[in-house]
């Protein structure tokens, strides 16, 4: 059972205090027409896909665990506080999955005297929660198109502590692959950078397209694996991954401008 560490939520308390102070200060000045679009905080929902590659180290033996790129994904809610029309502050909460690569393709035993048929195995996914905290810099390209840059950090929390796996061929009955993985599920800080465009839709909400990168200084996945354990053809190695990735995201922003216009018109 995974124990949730409550200090993972501590940044929310800090952000709540900062936002309350900024909001109180911003409400003291009158709102001009050019501020209408950024008068209220925005809620943005983001779906992301990305590629990640770990590191494979074979210590002995001849079988190969292929070190291929794996596809990961995440879903994130973000709230944006607008300091001014060109600068904002964002925070949120999301869920994602880092690919854990177990890709191999075995057609026959190392000795050639046993035929296993075609055996292939792919990818598992390691789930995590993340808490992004970032700035957003906006520059209008046209009246309905904005270029933006989003640098920041995210606190990542792995939801799994360990994972074991066995792959067994039944005819003949031979254990082909065995692995044991442990995961660093202490909340860790990652560094994020995104850049893209935001398109203002006819009803004043926004559609975002963004290239993104995540850099992790910490190792999250620690895996030891065996091919043909206990036989003369045994192979032993390790697979590691920091969860660093590059990817693409699509986001939808609810601005609330349409409701403000309706209220202004009575």
Distance CA 13, CA 58 (A): 45
- Predicted confidence (pLDDT) per residue in 65-113, tens digit: 877 788 899 999 999 998 888 899 999 999 999 888 666 766 655 555 5
Where does 27-134 have alpha helices with state H?
none
Chain mean position to CA 37: 29
Which of 21-30, 89-98, 171-180, 249-258 has the least mean pLDDT? 21-30
Q: What angle do CA 8, 13, 15 make, to 5 degrees?
A: 105
Residues contacting residue 250 through CB under 8 Å, at least 6 positions apart: 46, 47, 48, 207, 208, 209, 210
Instruction: Check pLDDT > 70 for residue 41.
Output: yes
254 token code pair:
């609810």
Instruction: Supply the Cα-derived Rg of the chain in whole angstroms.
Output: 24
109 token code pair:
């035993």
Give the number of other CB atoms < 10 A from CB of residue 122: 11
Phi and psi (nearest 5°) for 202?
Answer: -55, -30
Average of pLDDT values for 13-37?
48
Can you tell me which residue has the tokens 């291929």?
68
Average of pLDDT values for 244-258?
87
Can you tell me which residue has the tokens 């296993």?
116
Give yes or no for a contact between 133 and 116, defined as CB atoms under 8 angstroms apart: no
Residue 107: what pLDDT?
A: 62
């Amino acid at each position: 059972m995974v124990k949730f560490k409550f200090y993972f939520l501590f940044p929310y308390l800090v952000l709540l205090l900062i936002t309350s102070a900024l909001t109180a200060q911003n409400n003291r000045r009158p709102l001009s027409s050019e501020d209408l679009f950024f008068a209220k905080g925005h809620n943005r929902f983001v779906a992301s896909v990305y590629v990640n590659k770990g590191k494979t180290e074979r210590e002995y033996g001849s079988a190969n665990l292929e070190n291929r790129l794996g596809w990961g994904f995440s879903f994130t809610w973000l709230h944006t506080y607008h300091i001014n029309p060109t600068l904002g502050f964002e925070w949120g909460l999301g869920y994602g999955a880092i690919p854990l690569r177990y890709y191999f393709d075995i057609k026959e035993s190392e000795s050639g005297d046993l035929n296993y048929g075609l055996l292939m195995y792919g990818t598992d996914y390691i789930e995590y929660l993340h808490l992004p905290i970032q700035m957003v810099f906006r520059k209008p390209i046209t009246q309905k198109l904005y270029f933006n840059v989003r640098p920041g950090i995210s606190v990542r929390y792995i939801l799994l502590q360990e994972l074991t796996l066995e792959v067994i061929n039944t005819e003949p009955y031979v254990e082909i692959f065995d692995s044991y993985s442990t995961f660093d599920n202490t909340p860790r800080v990652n560094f994020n950078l995104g850049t893209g465009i935001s398109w203002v839709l006819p009803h004043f909400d926004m559609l975002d397209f963004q290239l993104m990168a995540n850099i992790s200084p910490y190792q999250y996945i620690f895996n030891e694996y065996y091919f043909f354990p206990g036989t003369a053809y045994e192979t032993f190695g390790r697979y590691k991954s920091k969860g660093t990735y590059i990817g693409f995201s699509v986001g939808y922003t609810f601005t609330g401008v349409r409701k403000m216009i309706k209220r202004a018109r009575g």
